[in-house]
Chains A and B, each alone.
Chain A
Amino acid sequence: MTLHARADNFRLALVGVPNCGKTALFNRLTGSRQKVANYPGVTIERKEGSFASADGTRQYQLIDLPGTYSLLPVTLDEAITRDAITGRLHGEPAPDLIVCVVATTNLRLSLRLVLELKLIGRPMIVALNMSDLAKQRGYKLDRARLESELGVRVVETVAVQSSGARELAAAIEVLCASLETQRTASRRVDAAEESRPSAQVAAPTVPLAKNSAEIETTQREARRILRDSGYVEPLRTRALTRIDAVVMHPLGGPLLLAALLFAIFQAVFTWAATPMAWISSGVSSLGTAVSAAMPAGALQSLLVDGVIKGAGAVVVYLPQILILFFFILLLEDSGYLPRAAFLLDRLMGSVGLSGRSFIPLLSSYACAIPGIMATRTIPNVRDRIATILLAPIMTCSARLPVYALIISAFITERSIGWFSLRGLVLFGLYVLGVLGALLVAYVMKRVTLRSGYQPLMLELPEYHWPNLRNLALGLYERTTIFLTRVGTIILSLMIVLWFLASFPGPPAGATGPAIQYSFAGMMGRGLHTVFAPLGFNWQICVALVPGLAAREVAVGALGTVYALSGSTAHVDQALRPMLASSWSLATALSLLAWYVFAPQCLSTLVTARRETNSWRYPLIMAGYLFAMAWVASFATYRIATALTGSA
């Protein structure tokens, strides 16, 4: 209530159907950089930002809410929206003003929601978003007439243009100025009658439609308004229809999807080679320079073996991660993803999930954490939990450095037809993740998480040209996230690991490398009993421990462990040839299999705990992943040993 006490503070909520550009508009108004993409359900949590009025006297608090088709929610994110605008969310007051965002290209779908929102009785502005695109594509609409039909202010916006929200901001100012006058007046009345109990503002009751017949009536009214406002939708262009004919072709569609994914993994290896070589030679010359400039000793070892070799080993993978995200962002922005979900619905259905699980699972390829959050768009709670449990099997980008290191150390670069062998192996690891997930889903849905029939009802948005600014921002953001991780978590873990690996020093007369006698060495040998059947040596076991905090640390940790355990003759040797000479192929493959399934990320478990509100599911998750990883690695190691005939 404290916010309400100030006359110059206003809470505005952005509401609209999924994928109408609310978040883009939010970013435009507040100058922030929330994630936007061309598929429904990107915003799964309410997001808040603020901006000041032009004269600086008023402060607007803007809330970006998940998209909803209706105030009768069927998913968790839709329920969040309803609760936020009716003032039932965590005791937050209802917004002072609702900005209902509608896509001008999709008014038929959104106008009913506008009418439903009007019934709440809050002050409201309708933002006709994507108005430029609509004009360009030949949509016609009499804005003034729509305004008088609806009885609320209607303004045109173009969220992707820098001046595109000017009119909306002006309309907000006008409306809030009048609200302010009302507030001051009512406060004067309040002051006069002091007997009034402390601010007890009841949540507004929402007159909700009860059944399909009532909804149908509102829909008819919406259509009448559109007709009277001269709304004309153009015929869909032939080009777009043709694209859909290919993309959603019964046979061509799945083939195209497979080819796309395949091409992405090829590009991750082939395009990244040159920039990776630059970074890697930069890192090693830095190491040489530091060793030359400093006297040999503990500090030199910390800087060179711990910091430069450890963190440097991880930084090298930045180009590969950026290439992966370049493609993911392109697919997200273009509107292709929901179509992929459509194509894969049957496959998901065969293991008991709905196509709606596809997008959360796909997000998990970037990182399981946003993937788990995105499960809020899944209507059924059992399906949602099943999807949460599956998310960590999807190959997240933190596994990429580990895969890339081992693949490039053990797989010789060779081309098979058009494809590079390394790209093929990487693709195979991703496929293994998917197959594992399908198997787990199948078992889970049969055993415990059975659910009734779940409908798909997924909107397939119109294609957009990917927005270059959006793409650049997305990549910039990824770079920042990655480098921050390297600079904070990874770097500090590397320093801790260096200490563990360097102390205590070897006893007098010891023959082996110093690290064997250190804490890390002891830890590694302790774990070795569990992991020896998988073919892991104690150096790998040491690297697995910091890998729990961030998967990619394992790469840096191997760098440090081998740098410290090597004899002086080849301390400067690069990590890859070192691994190639000290591991058998069976061990390398076994470690890859381990990384496909292992529960190697504590933050994922914590997120799962938060989203399911219990430790039950994260524990199940960690347990089954550990078991699967162990079995997969064991099988891989035994089979590979038998085939290669060496241990």
Chain B
Amino acid sequence: MRVILISIWVSVTMASLVERSASARVVALATLHKGDRGVVRQVLEIDAGVVGDQVGASIGRRLVEIGFVPGERVQVIAVVWPGDDPMAVRVGSTVFALRRREAQAVLVQVEAP
């Protein structure tokens, strides 16, 4: 029962996110380019997103712990050639190096340059 409720909630949230993205462009942080800015909207659990060997130590959780909190401003300050991977992302006053794959978990609302 609980599982069903949660999945309904997830799909509703996703739907509302998709809806919002049409107007305010909510995309994965991984799709941003150097210099792009945005505001974190949501952090998702991504597939195979386990850090290290600890069960439950998910990438999503660690991203929230290091400051990718909804409402926080982010900016891509550097990318590595070729493939623009990994990327250096400023969140609040800290800079973190993320691989594109983990940046996939962070949904941001892109700001006009």
Chain A positions near chain B (C-beta within 8 angstroms)? 69-70, 72-75, 105-106, 108-109, 112, 211-212, 215-216, 219-220, 223, 233, 236, 241, 244-245, 248-251, 253, 338, 341-343, 345-346, 349, 355, 379-381, 452-460
Contacts and interface: CB of A to CB of B under 8 A. Distances in A.
A627 B9 CA distance: 59
Interface string B74-113: 0001111111111010001111111101100000000000
Best-buried of B56, B72, B93 by chain A (most CB within 10 Å) = B93
Contact of B66 (A105, A212, A253, A457): A457
Contacts of B85: 346
Interface of B is mostly: loop
A69 B66 contact: yes
A460 B92 contact: no
Q: Which 10 A-B pairs have the closest CB atoms?
A: A379-B52, A250-B81, A248-B78, A108-B92, A74-B51, A342-B97, A219-B69, A460-B95, A455-B102, A74-B57
Given A106-B94, A459-B66, 20 more contacts: A69-B65, A75-B52, A105-B93, A108-B92, A109-B92, A212-B45, A216-B64, A219-B67, A233-B93, A241-B77, A244-B77, A244-B88, A345-B97, A346-B85, A346-B86, A379-B53, A379-B57, A452-B50, A456-B97, A457-B102
B57 to A, nearest CB: 4
A215 B65 contact: yes
A355 B101 CA distance: 14
A250 B79 CA distance: 6
Interface of B: 43, 45, 48-54, 56-67, 69-72, 77-86, 88, 92-99, 101-102
12 contacts: A108-B72, A212-B61, A219-B64, A250-B81, A379-B52, A379-B57, A456-B97, A456-B102, A457-B51, A457-B62, A457-B102, A460-B97
A223 B77 CA distance: 23
A338 B77 CA distance: 15
B58 A456 contact: no
Given A105-B93, A250-B79, A379-B51, A74 B88 contact: no
A459 B98 contact: no
Contacts of B86: 342, 345-346, 355, 456
Nearest to B60: A212
A248 B88 contact: yes
A112 B57 CA distance: 17
Nearest to A112: B65
Nearest to A19: B94
Given A248-B77, A455-B102, A70 B65 contact: yes
B14 to A, nearest CB: 16
Contacts of A223: 69, 71
Q: Which of A74, A248, A460 has the most CB of B within 10 A?
A: A74
Contacts of A250: 78-81, 84
B57 A456 contact: no
Contacts of A453: 48, 101
A73 B56 CA distance: 10
Nearest to B89: A460
A345 B87 CA distance: 10
B94 A108 contact: yes
Nearest to B59: A455
A555 B111 CA distance: 62
Nearest to A251: B81
A215 B93 contact: no
A215 B61 contact: yes
Contact of A459 (B56, B78, B95): B95
A109 B94 CA distance: 7
B94 A459 contact: yes
B102 to A, nearest CB: 4
A456 B92 contact: no
Contacts of B70: 216
B52 A346 contact: no
